[in-house]
Amino acid sequence: MSALSEAAVLDALRVVKDPDLHKDIVTLGFVKNLRLRGGEVAFTIELTTPACPVKDLLRDQAHAVVAALPGVSRVDIEMTAAVRATSPVGGRVPIEGVKNIIAVGAGKGGVGKTTMAVNLAAALARRGSRVGILDGDIYGPNVPIMLGLRTQLQTDGQKILPAEGHGIQAVSVGFLTDDDAPIIWRGPMLHQTIQQFFREVRWDNLDYLIVDMPPGTGDVALSLSQSVAVAGAVLVTTPQTVSVADTRRAVHMYRKLNIPTLGLIENMSHFVCAGCGREADVFGKGGGEALAHELSVPFLGHVPLQERVRSAGDAGHPVVLADPDSAPAVAIMAAAERVAQQVSIASFASRAIPMTEVR
């Protein structure tokens, strides 16, 4: 019997393919630190995001193919992740300390956009990513409330230091004004504030910066598209016909701004009565999913309407952290994984596949 070799292990691992990137994990450079000692094999699989939805599948497949090799008595696999940064295009300058910017928007107000933005950030952080949130909804800065933060932003003498709650770095104009003070600004002031939040904040090694966009199609989206490299946009809608119509316009706006749509979330998709268990389609049924299919963009999932989502947000504890086993939290966690998945796909599509690296 021939001795077990690194080449034999790598050849076996070439049958394990990432279902989204459509390449095997050896070609993708995911296999690291391969060690052999007698019949014991150990290596690391370094994925593109800690929130990878196929993490367990890839680990199990890799374990099976290596364990089946002659002479193998034990297989140890460490799963890690290194998030790739979005490649800047068209002269857009990367933000220092930020790998990927994800805009969370909506065609109209009242669809739970900020709730989804905060919970997506919390979900990605819970999966092990370094996450920040920029409250770009200048006229309705509710991110501090939903993260349970009551503070004033500080500086280190050069840049603004973000506040932090639940492991999420955050900046908001809500930290700079009184709670009851109205914000009456014209477009140029909006642009200046957004630029300051991007360029003059000491973002600390973020994998993902979530930007809670104002509803509709306005100045902030234009400012975002012209100045920074955006990985893509997540659009939030309800199933309601008027919400779907406005979301369609928002998708087309982001396309005109050359910002890819990472997917659509259908929020408040249905209501389940706590007493009788009866399901009611309060805002209609399936409008968001149908729109995603119509526009050929990923559908990220249905999030049901439950009182717990509202109460957790009001208390400053996102529902994915406060009640992780609830139906809305499970749906949002799955949506966050799909968002991270889409960012990884976009990142690899924008650059050449790396050469195999085993160390």
Q: What's at 358, amino acid-wise? A: V
147 Cβ partners below 8 Å, 6+ apart?
Answer: 118, 133, 163, 165, 166, 168, 170, 316, 318
Each residue of 97-146: pLDDT tens digit? 999 999 999 988 889 999 999 999 999 999 999 999 999 877 778 999 99
Nearest partner of 106 among 270, 257, 217, 242, judged by Cα: 217
Burial class (CB in 10 A: 0-12, 13-18, 19+), 252: middle
Mean pLDDT by 10 residues, the chain (359 residues): 82 94 93 94 95 93 96 96 82 85 90 95 96 86 91 87 95 73 51 79 95 76 76 93 92 89 93 72 81 95 92 95 94 96 83 46
Look at residue 270 in the predicted model and tell me its pLDDT: 81
The CA distance from 151 to 118, in Å, is: 17
Look at residue 355 in the predicted model and tell me its pLDDT: 42
Task: Indicate the domain borders of the chain.
Answer: 12-81, 98-349
Look at residue 140 in the predicted model and tell me its pLDDT: 75
Q: Which CATH number fits domain 12-81: 3.40.50.2020, 3.30.70.250, 3.30.300.130, 3.40.640.10?
A: 3.30.300.130
Q: What is the residue whose two structure tokens read 């309705």?
A: 140
As assigned by CATH, the class of the 98-349 domain is alpha beta
